[in-house]
Amino acid sequence: MRALLDLILPRECGGCGVAGTLWCARCATQLAGPPVAVSPRIDTGVPVWAVGAHGGARRAAVIAAKERGRRDLARPLGAALAGAVRQLRALGELDPPELAGLTVVPAPTRRRAARARGGDPVLAMVRCAAERLAPEAVRVERALSFGAGVRDSVGLSAHARVANLAGRVRATPPVGTVRSDCVVFVDDVLTTGATAAESVRALAGVGVRVDAVLVIGVA
């Protein structure tokens, strides 16, 4: 079956494009961390982390997952997120599971864009990360959405991105999250920090304090 599929869809690594594998060992190593602190242009008010320091594989994988329908990449990207959570706990940056439950809130997505891509890649990688952290019961809360009038931010300046999002990220109180939970907001790429900042603010508005922002890569 795999050989047959290879004839139709040639397998290549989603990070570097090497043939014969969907995700190569070298790219897996690049994604393995340690997590790196990031200072976005727009302050989110909470610590921001990227899963690792090297840009190439992460950037390519995020683009492939987002724009080229590589849904299989949710698994390695989810593994990278789970690894980053473990390392941030070891560094004392996030509460350990015996002290606090973990709630992960994926970034909001524009519905039409998600439909066109055949699903929301950030949600898919967050779900894979939660599986990776089992037997810990990680809560995945889709608490955020974009309000009307939000445009695709590609090509917008930092100033225009902020204006595009101002007041337009909506939060609904997450049903399963408890007050003592450690809450992590996850996005694939951080550009200016506008989405993360608006999301942190919207969650605060429904009584959810975000402990950290975690992204795969920085644009």
Q: Report if residue 76 touches Zn ion, rule: CB under 5 A.
A: no
In this chain, which stretch among 19-27, 73-81, 196-204, 207-215 interacts with Zn ion, using CB under 5 A? 19-27
Judged by beta carbon, residue 27 or residue 88, the one nearer Zn ion is 27
Q: Report if residue 63 touches Zn ion, rule: CB under 5 A.
A: no
Q: Report if residue 129 touches Zn ion, rule: CB under 5 A.
A: no
Q: Report if residue 80 touches Zn ion, rule: CB under 5 A.
A: no
CB of 133 vs Zn ion, minimal distance in Å? 24
Q: Report if residue 162 touches Zn ion, rule: CB under 5 A.
A: no
Contact 83, 32 (CB under 8 A): yes
Type of residue at 131: E
Q: Report if residue 13 touches Zn ion, rule: CB under 5 A.
A: yes
Q: Report if residue 88 touches Zn ion, rule: CB under 5 A.
A: no
Q: Single out the residue of 193, 212, 219 nearest to residue 40, CA to CA.
A: 193
In this chain, which stretch among 15-23, 34-42, 45-53, 90-98 interacts with Zn ion, using CB under 5 A? 15-23
Judged by beta carbon, residue 31 or residue 94, the one nearer Zn ion is 31
**Residues 6 or more apart whose Cβ sits within 8 Å of residue 206:** 143, 171, 172, 173, 174
Q: Report if residue 24 touches Zn ion, rule: CB under 5 A.
A: yes
In this chain, which stretch among 24-32, 33-41, 159-167, 174-182 interacts with Zn ion, using CB under 5 A? 24-32
Contact 81, 125 (CB under 8 A): yes
Type of residue at 61: A
**Residues 6 or more apart whose Cβ sits within 8 Å of residue 6:** none
Q: Single out the residue of 196, 149, 199 nearest to residue 169, CA to CA.
A: 199
C-alpha distances in Å from residue 135, one per residue of 41, 58, 60, 97, 182: 37, 27, 31, 11, 17
Whole-number Å distance between alpha carbons of 22 and 10: 9
By CB under 5 A, name the one of 1, 6, 8, 15 that touches Zn ion: 15
By CB under 5 A, name the one of 2, 4, 9, 16 that touches Zn ion: 16
Q: Report if residue 31 touches Zn ion, rule: CB under 5 A.
A: no
In this chain, which stretch among 11-19, 83-91, 105-113, 169-177 interacts with Zn ion, using CB under 5 A? 11-19
Q: Tell me the backbone φ, ψ of residue 15, rounded to 5 degrees.
A: -95, -50
Q: Report if residue 150 touches Zn ion, rule: CB under 5 A.
A: no
Tokens 């019961």 belong to 137
Q: Report if residue 27 touches Zn ion, rule: CB under 5 A.
A: yes
Contact residues toward Zn ion (CB under 5 A) are 13, 15-16, 24, 27
